[in-house]
């Protein structure tokens, strides 16, 4: 469905109660009924009533990036429009239904952002270790420099939690696949991934020395 028009229906003038921040339930239900009939202005009315509050209270605290938070707010109303037929009016405002959608979407985006960051961190660390410990023998004039860097990497690994160092050595230096790494550490693959990503994060804090 299309995004809601952020401008409220000019024929509707009710405002959220300044104490609760919510609109009278009967007024709200009338707008929801119009929305179910395909009235686009009704979607705009809900957006006008609750959009800013959802953004400030539900989304931004969980996703402190304004651009992403604004996208999540749009997604919240898009998803709400797609799912409106599943909404069941109760003794509570539709705001709480919208809030749950907003929170779930914000958390999904936040987790995806964290995953991307972990992968980027892992890539940077893998590049560092690969360049210093997994390359062919260097040219004679570069051997002392590479040897010194490799020694620094090894020294950094000794400063880590032993399991973190083990995960990095197996995955990046020995070039073992995830399944074999997990087997050697006696953990599930998913658990190995967590250990590996934490190891990358810990290594990044101490490198370069």
* Distant-in-sequence, close-in-space partners of 145: CB < 8 Å, separation ≥ 6: 138
Task: Output the pLDDT for position 41.
Answer: 85
What is the end-to-end Cα distance of the chain in Å, rounded?
A: 53
User: Could you give the CA distance from residue 86 to residue 80 in angstroms, rounded to a whole number?
Assistant: 9
User: Could you give the CA distance from residue 189 to residue 16 in angstroms, rounded to a whole number?
Assistant: 50
Task: Output the pLDDT for position 1.
Answer: 39
Angle at which helices 40-53 and 25-36 pack, to 10 degrees?
130
Q: Structure tokens of 145?
A: 């420099």
Tens place of pLDDT for every residue, the chain, 209 residues? 344 554 444 444 688 888 888 999 999 999 999 988 888 888 899 999 999 999 999 999 999 889 999 999 999 999 998 899 898 877 789 999 999 999 999 999 988 887 777 666 666 666 666 555 554 544 554 545 556 667 777 888 888 899 998 998 888 878 788 889 999 999 998 888 889 888 888 887 887 66
Task: Output the pLDDT for position 171.
Answer: 84
CA distances from 40 to 6, 25, 99, 129, 186 (A): 10, 20, 20, 56, 56
User: Could you give the CA distance from residue 28 to residue 46 in angstroms, rounded to a whole number?
Assistant: 8
Q: Where are the alpha helices (DSSP H) in the chain?
A: 25-36, 40-53, 66-83, 94-133, 143-158, 162-168, 178-185, 189-206
Domains annotated on the chain, with CATH: 25-113 (1.10.1740.10), 134-206 (1.10.10.10)
């Amino acid at each position: 469905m299309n995004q809601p028009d952020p401008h409220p229906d000019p024929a509707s003038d009710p405002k959220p109660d300044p104490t609760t921040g919510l609109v009278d339930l009967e007024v709200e239900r009338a707008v929801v009924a119009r929305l179910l009939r395909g009235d686009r202005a009704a979607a705009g009315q809900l957006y006008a009533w609750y959009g800013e509050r959802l953004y400030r209270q539900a989304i931004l605290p969980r996703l402190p990036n304004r651009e992403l938070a604004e996208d999540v707010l749009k997604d919240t109303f898009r998803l709400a429009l797609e799912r409106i037929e599943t909404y069941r009016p109760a003794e509570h405002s539709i705001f709480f239904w919208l809030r749950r959608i907003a929170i779930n979407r914000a958390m999904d985006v936040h987790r995806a952002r964290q995953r991307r960051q972990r992968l980027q961190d892992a890539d940077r660390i893998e590049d560092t270790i690969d360049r210093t410990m997994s390359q062919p023998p260097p040219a004679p004039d570069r051997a002392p420099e590479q040897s010194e860097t490799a020694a620094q990497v090894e020294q950094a690994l000794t400063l880590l939690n032993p399991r973190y160092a083990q995960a990095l050595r197996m995955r990046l230096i020995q070039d073992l696949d995830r399944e074999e790494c997990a087997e050697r550490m006696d953990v599930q693959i998913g658990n190995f991934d967590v250990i590996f990503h934490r190891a990358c994060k810990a290594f990044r804090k101490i490198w370069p020395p």
